[in-house]
Amino acid sequence: MLNFDESRVRQEHENGIALIPAVEKVVDDICVEGYSSIIFMGIGGTYLYAGQLMHTAKQMGCTLPLYLENAADFLYEGTPFLDDKSVVVIASISGDTPEVVEAVDKVHKAGARVIGYVEKEGTPLYEKSDYLIHTVGGEYYFWYAVTLRFMKNKGQFEKYDQFFSEIKEMPENVVQIYKDADAEMREYAEKYCDEPLTYLVGSGNLEDWAVCYGMCIMEEMQWMRTRPISAANFFHGTLEVIERDIPVMLIKGEDVTRPEMDRVEKFVQTISAKVTVFDTMNYKLNGISPEFRGMLSPIVMRAAFQRLNVHLEDCRKHPIAIRRYYRRLNY
């Protein structure tokens, strides 16, 4: 397989599993101390990763005071849910995203605490996190552990222990997903890498993944023009601009919103000749109970799409590390 480091992939997901006990202790300590609100905060990809867990929590019936804020909007708008007993949760690979750094300073001025997943040591967010979780490649597991531990401690996830016992199987499952997805992703990249516009549709806990992939990978890293849209909103505008030669990428998961995607798929298959369906149901998850597959769709889909990254990079002859403006100019 092209540019596939199996040991690195496995290790990153094992790192994610390894951080769970540390997250549990942090959340348990906070629950003992008490809190008024839990605010997930991020920008770009981190905001969209957190959003996927917000969907999952909602579908599970979570009634905690759990909120999602964009860091840049927060700097101007603020939020009425922040006070000195709030807990703000962030994640950052670089550790120095300007909007998040400034937002954390504002949070601290309010007297609130920050749980931070930060990969790069010695960075501003590494230093500013009141409760630091540090590893490489474990961001999804961080969001799952934070969200579900708060829910468990409030009596809102009775199968918590079973879920986290089974999630230990994901590193091996993810490695296999990389392998199983490779041919399909290579075929997609070869067919559609030079399209002038691509529509991406997702629903539920993959709605934000569709936005994330379109914005953070295809646009930022490949300079491809995209239009992500939720399945819920697709029939309120976007359907009118789908034509025979318009590529539509359907990102289907297994949560309760899957019928929304079925409805979109039925429509676009009658209009466009360039429809591609990526479906988490096509991948085996050994050791995972069927009831948890929908919850884990974000990890599954990200694993599959890591192979699309590689093949888009190869077909377009455009290394994903190259940027024209992002972190290149002052803006």
Q: What is the mean pLDDT of the chain?
A: 98
Alpha helices in 193-281 (DSSP H): 207-212, 231-234, 258-271
Which whole number is the average pLDDT over 281-304? Answer: 98
Residue 36's pLDDT is what?
98
Q: How many beta carbons lie within 10 A of that of residue 41, not counting itself? A: 26
Residue 49's pLDDT is what?
98
Instruction: Tell me: pLDDT of 263 over 90.
Output: yes
Which whole number is the average pLDDT over 22-34? Answer: 98
Element (DSSP H or E) covering residue 307: helix 297-316
SS (H, E, C) 48-79: HHHHHHHHHHHHCCCCCCEEEEEHHHHHHHCC
pLDDT tens, residue by residue, 206-256? 999 999 999 999 999 999 999 999 999 999 999 999 999 999 999 999 999
Give the amino acid at 168. K
Closest CA to 273 of 191, 159, 330, 160: 191
Which whole number is the average pLDDT over 260-272? Answer: 98
Q: Going edge to edge, which strands form the sheet with 113-118?
A: 66-70, 38-42, 87-92, 113-118, 131-133
Instruction: Tell me: pLDDT of 289 over 90.
Output: yes
pTM comes to 0.97
Closest CA to 38 of 48, 22, 27: 27
Q: CA-CA distance, 2 to 307, in Å (whole number)?
A: 9
Closest CA to 167 of 296, 7, 25, 49: 296
pLDDT tens, residue by residue, 134-164? 999 999 999 999 999 999 999 999 999 999 9
Residue 175's pLDDT is what?
98
Instruction: Tell me: pLDDT of 331 over 90.
Output: no
Residue 205's pLDDT is what?
98
Residue 271's pLDDT is what?
98
